[in-house]
């Protein structure tokens, strides 16, 4: 095996996006991670000037030429490069010039999305915080549940001793309210049952959620299905996953129902994502399930707390739906992300479709 071939095979297995340029800044080699980052295949990129892939090619060309002229490694953190056909990328990148055996100059450009690292760190922090809060709530819930049983039992005994039906109506109110509080506490405690894993297709889940939403919303809210039919089966607990997606979708339904929204709409969308990092683990392929609504959006002061138990933006909400959904998705080694603005709230559920590839 030649040194050049070995080098390229080594680069192709790197998690970091790596591109090799010649002295004229023409792309000579691109690894799979760079193809994913730049949303272009190697065939589209090879032989093209690297800077031509971006909206501001002059700025990027100047940076590359400075590395060529100085002949030293250049590292930049949190740079912003905008691709010609997609949103702005926030990158940490390094440019390393080197001479080959024939004294020809080449550049190695290594790129790592800074926003991905920040997102992973933020998500891990939020999960740890919500787990701590959930343990606290469970402790309080247990303390509430114990005396509730005594109150209900005492009310039942009292009802059996009372002489007339009119007085028994009061004890019945006590019993019903105790039952209502017990149900609320049971929801606060959540399920400790681990997933009953079996093969399931993600569209079995979305179709069940769609059917339930259709019954609840009637013709008032438009429901849109946008599926990727190529998604393979995954291993998971179908009932739990339906509950998680339904909790998120019902929040969207309630937000649209309680606010005056023109042409209210909820979209259920599935896509495959490749080489995706979920909670510091990298998977070759994962499923992304989006729940998108065109409601009023989530208030900015709630965005960092929406997965906490008992936090709700609605007066009638218990604040348990998203907390339970996150717990279920965590059990499935997945993650939930949320973006919200007036007119567009997007919850994205990421679930691995195969075994762990490597740590990110």
Do 303 and 313 form a contact (C-beta atoms < 8 A)?
Answer: no
Do 257 and 295 form a contact (C-beta atoms < 8 A)?
Answer: no
pLDDT at 140 (0 to 100): 66
pLDDT at 1 (0 to 100): 45
User: 153: which 2 tokens?
Assistant: 């039992």
Parallel/antiparallel/unpaired status of strands 344-352 and 358-359: unpaired
- 171 and 222 assigned to the same domain: no
pLDDT at 315 (0 to 100): 47
Q: What global pTM score does this model have?
A: 0.58
CATH number at residue 76: 3.30.450.20
236 or 323, greater pLDDT: 236
- Of the candidates 168, 153, 163, 37, which has an alpha carbon nearest to the alpha carbon of residue 90? 37
* Residues recorded for the chain: 360
Residue ranges making up the domain that contains 300? 198-359
Average pLDDT over residues 321-341: 87
pLDDT at 213 (0 to 100): 93
- 242 and 320 assigned to the same domain: yes
- 122 and 138 assigned to the same domain: yes
Residue finishing a domain among 158, 189, 220: 189
Total domains in the chain come to: 3
| Residue 108: Cβ within 10 Å count | 18
pLDDT at 47 (0 to 100): 92
Residue finishing a domain among 87, 114, 141: 114
d(C-alpha 314, C-alpha 311), whole Å: 9
Instruction: Give SS3 for 195.
Output: coil
pLDDT at 123 (0 to 100): 59
138 or 22, greater pLDDT: 22
The residues that bridge with 18 in the sheet, in sequence order, are 110
pLDDT at 68 (0 to 100): 86
Out of 102-111, 126-135, 310-319, which region has the weakest mean confidence (pLDDT)? Answer: 310-319
Instruction: Give SS3 for 47.
Output: coil
Q: Which pLDDT band, with edges at 50, 70 and 90, does 171 fall under?
A: confident
CATH number at residue 335: 3.30.565.10
pLDDT tens per residue, range 189-216: 655 566 788 999 999 999 999 999 998 8
Highest mean pLDDT among 25-34, 99-108, 111-120, 128-137: 25-34
pLDDT at 85 (0 to 100): 66
- Residue 151 burial by Cβ neighbours in a 10 Å radius (0-12, 13-18, 19+): middle
d(C-alpha 298, C-alpha 279), whole Å: 24
Residue finishing a domain among 76, 98, 114: 114
pLDDT tens per residue, range 109-160: 998 876 655 555 555 656 666 566 666 666 666 677 778 878 888 888 888 8
User: 135: which 2 tokens?
Assistant: 């343990």
Do 82 and 58 form a contact (C-beta atoms < 8 A)?
Answer: no
Parallel/antiparallel/unpaired status of strands 281-293 and 335-341: unpaired
- 40 and 181 assigned to the same domain: no
- 68 and 48 assigned to the same domain: yes
- 318 and 249 assigned to the same domain: yes
pLDDT at 188 (0 to 100): 60
* ∠ CA 20-23-26, rounded to 5°: 55
Is the model's pLDDT at 27 over the cut of 90?
yes
> What percentage of residues in the chain have a pLDDT greater than 90?
29
- 127 and 165 assigned to the same domain: yes
Average pLDDT over residues 206-234: 92
pLDDT at 152 (0 to 100): 84
- 218 and 293 assigned to the same domain: yes
Give the DSSP H or E segment for 12: helix 3-12
pLDDT tens per residue, range 263-295: 999 999 999 988 777 876 778 889 999 999 999
- 210 and 337 assigned to the same domain: yes
């Amino acid at each position: 095996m030649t040194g050049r071939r070995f080098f390229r095979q080594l680069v192709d297995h790197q998690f970091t996006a790596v591109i090799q340029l010649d002295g004229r800044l023409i792309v000579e080699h691109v690894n799979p991670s760079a193809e994913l980052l730049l949303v272009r295949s190697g065939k589209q990129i090879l032989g093209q000037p690297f800077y031509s892939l971006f909206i501001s090619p002059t700025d990027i060309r100047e940076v590359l030429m400075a590395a060529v002229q100085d002949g030293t490694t250049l590292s930049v953190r949190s740079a912003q490069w905008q691709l010609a056909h997609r949103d702005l990328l926030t990158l940490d990148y390094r440019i390393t010039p080197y001479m080959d055996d024939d004294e020809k100059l080449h550049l190695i450009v290594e790129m790592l999305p800074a926003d991905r690292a920040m997102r992973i760190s933020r998500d891990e922090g939020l999960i740890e915080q919500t787990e701590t809060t959930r343990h606290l709530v469970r402790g309080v819930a247990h303390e509430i549940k114990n005396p509730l049983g005594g109150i209900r039992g005492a009310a039942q005994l009292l009802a059996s001793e009372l002489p007339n039906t009119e007085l028994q109506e009061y004890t019945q109110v006590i019993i019903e309210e105790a039952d209502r509080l017990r149900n609320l506490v049971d929801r606060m405690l959540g399920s400790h049952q681990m997933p009953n894993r079996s093969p399931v297709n993600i569209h079995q889940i979305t179709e069940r959620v769609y059917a339930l939403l259709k019954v609840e919303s009637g013709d008032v809210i438009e429901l849109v299905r946008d599926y990727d039919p190529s998604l393979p089966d995954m291993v998971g607990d179908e009932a739990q996953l339906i509950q998680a997606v339904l909790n998120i979708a019902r929040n969207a339904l309630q937000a649209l129902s309680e606010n005056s929204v023109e042409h209210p709409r909820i979209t259920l969308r599935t896509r495959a994502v490749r080489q995706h990092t979920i909670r510091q683990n990298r998977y070759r392929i994962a499923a992304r399930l989006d729940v998108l609504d065109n409601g009023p959006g989530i208030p900015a002061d709630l965005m960092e707390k929406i997965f906490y138990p008992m936090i709700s933006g609605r007066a009638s909400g218990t604040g348990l739906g998203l907390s339970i959904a996150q717990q279920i998705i965590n059990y499935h080694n997945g993650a939930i992300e949320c973006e919200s603005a007036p007119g567009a709230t997007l919850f994205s559920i990421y679930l691995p479709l195969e075994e762990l590839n490597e740590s990110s």
